[in-house]
C-alpha cells in the first residue's frame, strides 16, 4: 500500500478550513475556504442576523487557489464597504485583513 504524506494541518490540502468572519451589530458574515475531495476549492458564505435568527448561505466552486483568493479579496472589500468589521476567532484567519 502506498501512503501519501500530506502535512496534517496544511490548508492547501483541504485538511484545515480557512475561516474569516465579519460583524456589524447583530449581523454576521462568515466565509470558509476549503478544498474538496476532488481537488476543487470551495468558498462557503453564510450570513444572517443573530438576534432575529435569520440566515442564508451560498457555495462557490473554483478550480484554483488563486481564483479562490481573488474572490476572497473581493468579498473582504464588499464587507468593508458595507461597514462590517473583522471578528477575531480561534480558527485560522485569512491573511487579507489590513
Q: Which pLDDT band, with edges at 50, 70 and 90, does 87 fall under? A: confident
Contacts of 79 by beta carbon, 8 Å cutoff, 6+ apart: 22, 29
Q: Which pLDDT band, with edges at 50, 70 and 90, does 89 fall under? A: low
Note the pLDDT of residue 4.
Answer: 37
Note the pLDDT of residue 93.
Answer: 53
Q: Phi/psi class of residue 53: alpha, beta or left (left: φ > 0; alpha: ψ in -120 to 50)?
A: left
Q: Which fold has domain 11-86?
A: Nuclear Transport Factor 2; Chain: A, (3.10.450)
Higher pLDDT, 9 or 30: 30
pLDDT, one tens digit per residue, over 44-76 is 999 999 999 899 999 999 999 999 999 999 999
**Beta bridge partners of residue 24, listed in sequence order:** 27
pLDDT, one tens digit per residue, over 14-43 is 445 688 999 999 999 999 999 999 999 999
Q: What does the alpha-carbon distance between residue 7 and residue 25 come to, in Å, rounded to a whole number?
A: 38
Note the pLDDT of residue 18.
Answer: 86
Amino acid at each position: 500500500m502506498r501512503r501519501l504524506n500530506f502535512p496534517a494541518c496544511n490548508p492547501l490540502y483541504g485538511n484545515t478550513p480557512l475561516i474569516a468572519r465579519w460583524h456589524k451589530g447583530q449581523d454576521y458574515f462568515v466565509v470558509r475556504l476549503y478544498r474538496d475531495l476532488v481537488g476543487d476549492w470551495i468558498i462557503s458564505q453564510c450570513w444572517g442576523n443573530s438576534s432575529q435568527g435569520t440566515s442564508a448561505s451560498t457555495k462557490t466552486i473554483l478550480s484554483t487557489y488563486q481564483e479562490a483568493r481573488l474572490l476572497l479579496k473581493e468579498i473582504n472589500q464588499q464587507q468593508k464597504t458595507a461597514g462590517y468589521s473583522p471578528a477575531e476567532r480561534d480558527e485560522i484567519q485569512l491573511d487579507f485583513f489590513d
